[in-house]
Structure 1
Amino acid sequence: MAAGTRLAIGTAIVLTVTAYMAYVGASSSWQYYLTVDECLTLQSDFPTRSIRISGDVLPGSLLIAANRIGAKFELKGTHDNLPVSFEGRVPDNFAEGQQVVVEGCLQSPLAFHADTVLTRCSSKYTTESTPRNAGNLSPGKTE
């Protein structure tokens, strides 16, 4: 076999193995998040599997432990609510009515234990209603 053919076959094998390893590594970190209602409807599909759920913290349901190490709250769904318990550092901007994503496991049909709580801050990405050149600031420059 010619040296060029062997090089082409070797390169193809290396590229195939690299692509496969990248796919397997990345697919394990891809995780779709469910709504509260989807979670409650499909709960038998993932009894012990870690899942992500997105929802709003129900006003009046939030209890934060001393030193912000843990919280209990309910995620608001369209039809039902899901009680969530979390042990760990509670994010500073975590509050009632806040949109959050929780990651963890269902412990029973109506109890979710979160290992991670991520807050979503939509106001961070909206512009303020101030004039573009307010004060001495120039567009595109920072102080």
Structure 2
Amino acid sequence: MNAKKRIVLSSDHSALRLRGLIATHLTEKGWEVVDIGPMTEESTPYPQHGEAAAHRVASGDCRLGIILCGTGQGIMMAANKVKGIRCGVCSEAFSARMIRQHNDANMLSIGARVVGDALALDIVDAFLGAEFEGGRHATRVEMIAAME
């Protein structure tokens, strides 16, 4: 399976609308979106959604992942418990670009109650438009991986 342009999306109930907007945006940009839910606004715990998306990335089924909850913090913490995941929560584009360039992040977390729609799409574009720089950063990423 070619995961090069395959991305997993998940959220808790608080981010359903923004997740749908991001899914449409990604599809328009040529990404194959794997939206693993939830699909209703019924209250649902973010840890299970962060973990499920992280396993899709860690297994190689998807190249990258984007997860959302109210602040982006809780779902990010859950995702980072999965071996091989480097996920950061970002509320602006600069950090989203830097977590890819310097930390080889493979997942992005966004707070649906923190950022507006246009900013969220800018954050997504910055994350996806950046590539890992390697070099001195590779040593640091290896140090993080050794902690798992």
| Bigger RCO of structures 1 and 2 (CA < 8 A, at least 6 apart) | 2
Higher helix share: 2
Whichever of the two has the greater Rg, that structure is 1
Please give the TM-score of this superposition, normalised by the length of structure 2: 0.21
Higher strand share: 1
